[in-house]
Structures are given as structure tokens and as C-alpha cells.
Amino acid sequence: MDEADVRELLAGVDDPALGDDIVSLGLVNAVELDGETARVSLALGAPYSPQESAIARRVREVLADAGLDADLTAKLPDQSGDEVLPGVKNIVAVASGKGGVGKSTIAVNLAAGLSKLGARVGLFDADVYGPNVPRMVDADEHPQATSQETIVPPEKFGMKLMSMAFLVGEDDPVIWRGPMVHKVLTQLVEDVEWGALDYMVLDLPPGTGDTQLTILQTLPLTGAVIVTTPQEVALDDARKGLRMFGKHDTNVLGIVENMAGFRCPDCGTLHDVFGAGGGRAFADENELPFLGSVPLDPAVREGGDSGKPMVLAEGNETADALRVMTENVANNVGIVHRRRVSR
């Protein structure tokens, strides 16, 4: 058996999301045979994505059926040129067109959910004017400065954290003009020792202002998640956020519908407090992936106030919805990379 034989075996492994086999799609970077071991480099870029894990598992099965041990590595081509955050594989921005839709809650639970899957995660609270992330994860440590004047971020729930809340007083308002926002955000990106991360989750402020523009112009975003609630007034603002990312050629990974419905704990009846189905309809209208609906659940608020992300809970309908959302985001990160490689 030689390299051509191994590639022929791998041609039997399909990528369901892209609708072809991994060899035809160009997702097999290299094959090397060493005795009974096949070393295969795959163009997979979303660590712990269920879809990419399934592809790797299928590759191992195909090789094992042929009597070969699989030694798999994942590497995307042309990934070494980014000078900004070179150790971060994927940067995912969480955005909303307006405040009050639970964007920070989704960002925190997405980051914690990715960490729970096993990924190396950073959570960057870029909501300069309303930084809430430290409270939402009960961060009891502050960043430390090194002798080289860099910043070592604290960690919680396996996530490295950075927030404007660490740099200002607890009750001090942040009253800054655009140039100062740009300067501080740039410093928090460049001077923080983020290290090697599979995912960095950015909690953007609501709207389409200076902070969003700085992020879009400074960081190589893998994609953005747009958070909305079901009612039309929220969807109107979500459209503005969608257009903002479109103007900057940023991939939109999908739409999350938050506060989708409240299930009465006494009678079990589902109440659509903010309407129903608006987020899914918005995703369909714009031909975007729908990442999931998250119920309106008092336990989410309690988790945010107490610093325990809901996604980490077990045996709970809302926690399950947040885990589905997390897996869908990771899957779509992988699709973005694999589609780029296959073109």
C-alpha cells in the first residue's frame, strides 16, 4: 500500500456539510506511510466541533478497516501570516443590534460551552461601556502585570478572561471618545498574553459604533454570531448588525434567538413573552444558519448574577439549548474554514 492507496481510502470519507468527499474537497493536506501507520494531515480548523470530530473519527475507521493505524493532525493552510494574535486559531464575535437581548449571556455561555467541550478558550469582554463578564463568571482574580509590561489574564472555568471592568473602578462610568476606545482595545489585544487558544470569544457592545469598527479593522475575525430576541423591534436592529458585518466581509456564523419562550414552572405552559419564531424567520430570510433558540429562564439570570454559566448545568432544558448553540457555532466555524480550503 502506498500514498495513492491511502488517498483512495480517504475518498470514501464524506464531508456532509459540504456534500463531497474530503479528498475531492482538498481537505487532505498530506499523507505519509510509516510501516502500518498512516500519518494524515487534515485541513480541519474548528477544534472540538462535533462535525469535524466525526470526520476525523470516520478517517480512523476507514484506515483501521484497511489494517492501518491512524496518526492524524489538523492544520489549515496559510494560517501563519496573521501578525495579530498568531496563537489564536479562531476569533468569534458575539454581537447584537440593540441592548437588552442577552448578548453577554450568550457570549459567556458560548465561551464556557466551548471550554467544557475541551477547547482552549479566551473570553474578551470588549463591551467597553458596559463590561459585565467578570460578574457573570464570578472572576475573583485580576490580571497581573509582568516585568515586560504585558498582562497575564486570570482564568475561570478554563477560560482566559479580559475585560474593561478589570481596569476601571467597579462603579466608575467609562466616558471615552472613539480614539481612546481604539487605543485601549488595541492594547488589550496586543499586550495580553493570550497564549495558544482554539477560540477567542469577543463580547461586543450592542449597536454599530466605534468599538465594533475597531474590532473589525484590527482583528482577523473568523465569524460573528448575532443575538436577537423574537420580536420585530429587536429584529430591526439585528438587520443593522448584519449589514455592518457584510460591509466588512465578515462571515456571519448564524443567528441565536434568545428569550424565546417562558415555560411556567407551575403549569408547564409555554408563554411567548417576546413573540415566537422571529429569530428563525430572520435567519431564513437572510439565508443564514439558525444556531438555536434559548428559552427565557430565570435560572439563566441567576447563573449570570452568581457567576455560574448556565451551559455548565446538567439535566436542564435551557442548558441543553445552550450546548446545542455552542456545538452549532463550532460546526459553522469549521464549515467556514473547510469551504475556504475547498475553493
Q: Is 195 part of any known ligand binding site?
A: no
* Residue 88: per-residue pLDDT: 94
Q: Is 98 part of any known ligand binding site?
A: yes
> What distance in Å separates the CA atoms of residue 72 and residue 90, rounded to the nearest whole number?
20
> What distance in Å separates the CA atoms of residue 37 and residue 190, rounded to the nearest whole number?
41
Q: Is 104 part of any known ligand binding site?
A: yes
Q: Whole-model pTM?
A: 0.91
Listed by start position, the domains of the chain span: 3-74, 91-312
* Residue 149: per-residue pLDDT: 84
> What distance in Å separates the CA atoms of residue 108 and residue 258, rounded to the nearest whole number?
13
Q: Is 103 part of any known ligand binding site?
A: yes
Low-confidence ranges of the chain (pLDDT < 50): none
Please name the fold of domain 91-312. Rossmann fold (3.40.50)
Q: Is 304 part of any known ligand binding site?
A: no
* Residue 19: per-residue pLDDT: 95
> What distance in Å separates the CA atoms of residue 307 and residue 141, rounded to the nearest whole number?
13
Please name the fold of domain 3-74. GMP Synthetase; Chain A, domain 3 (3.30.300)
Q: Is 99 part of any known ligand binding site?
A: yes
Q: Is 196 left (phi over 0), alpha (psi -120 to 50) or beta?
A: beta
> What distance in Å separates the CA atoms of residue 137 and residue 304, rounded to the nearest whole number?
7
